[in-house]
Structures are given as structure tokens and as C-alpha cells.
Amino acid sequence: MRKRRSPLLAVDAVILSPDYSRILLIRRLNDPFKNYYALPGGFVEWGETTEEACLREALEETSLNVEILDLVGVFSDPKRDPRGHVVSVAYLCRAKSYNAKASSDAKEVAWIEIHKILKGDVKLAFDHLEIIREAVKKLEEIMGVRRDDKESSNSSTNSDKSASSEEEKG
């Protein structure tokens, strides 16, 4: 009899800034995608719900407590992770502060404006651009508004909060 193989289960947290204008990304410390930006996330531990895993991973990698706003979706393309078949459950979250600090397997953290990410200005790991696009759609549903991908950076002039720009390290 052949042994049955199953995909691994992971979570990704799309963490919005308190003013909803930015997303918190980590710069990966390890392969795959070492030095790429990525969503905070990781593998679900035995006995843990995906929601608990999302909150734990957000805290471990960014030092932030977050609140889960909604489910973004389940991302199950067998080729989404070069390590093997990993299914990710992604959540839309909101940070309660800007005081993020890199820890665990995050090299640094950065609050990056949503429109810069959507334009492709940020090199992302895995399928995280697809996840972020879906999260923005979910945010628009929740807020009842349509975000403008081309909004000027002038709309968020207060960009020097802790870990608030791509260049700033946490």
C-alpha cells in the first residue's frame, strides 16, 4: 500500500496599517526567496487553528498584536512554494500600532504603501502579490470604497513612523 501524502498547511497575514494606507511586509531572512519582501506567515502547528497560527506568526515575525478582519482566501496552487505543496490560508488583519520590529525569520519589516505594492514596485516572494490583490478587494468590500492604485504618495505624507518605508529597517 502506498503511503498517502498531503500538502502542508500555512497562513499568511496581510497586515494593514492603522490608517489602512500601508501593508506591513517582512524581508525574508532565509531561503526560499531570501531578501525578498513577503507577508508575515508560516506553518500551522499541530492543535492550532489557522486563526491562532495567523496571530502567532504575526507576533513572532513583526512583534505586533493584530486583529483579524476577514478571511482573504485559500491559496492552493501546488507550485506556489518551491519547497513543496503548501496550502496557505490568508487573513486580512489590522495592526493596532506602527511599532513593528523584525524577529524570528524576518530580517526587517517595512510599512509599504498599498499602491506601490499593487504597481509592482516591490519584489515579493511566493504568490504574495496575488494574495495582496485579493486582500485589497476584500478591504474595498469591507470599507465600501474603491482604492485608487494611482493615489499619490502625497496622500500619506506622514511616512516616517516606525518601520514606515521600504528603506527603513525594523
Determine which one of 57, 61, 108, 113 is catalytic: 108
Evaluate if residue 168 carries a pLDDT over 60: no
Q: How far is residue 87 from each of residues 43, 57, 97, 113, 115, measured CA to CA in Å?
A: 10, 16, 29, 27, 27
Q: What is the pLDDT of residue 121?
A: 95
Q: Has residue 44 got a pLDDT over 80? A: yes
pTM: predicted TM-score of the whole model, two decimal places? 0.85
Q: Please tell me the predicted confidence (pLDDT) of residue 157.
A: 37
Question: Per-residue pLDDT tens for 56-115?
Answer: 999 999 999 999 999 999 999 999 999 999 999 999 999 999 999 999 889 999 999 999
48 is catalytic: no
Burial class (CB in 10 A: 0-12, 13-18, 19+), 131: buried
Q: What is the pLDDT of residue 163?
A: 52
- What is the tens place of the pLDDT at every residue in 1-21? 789 999 999 999 999 999 999
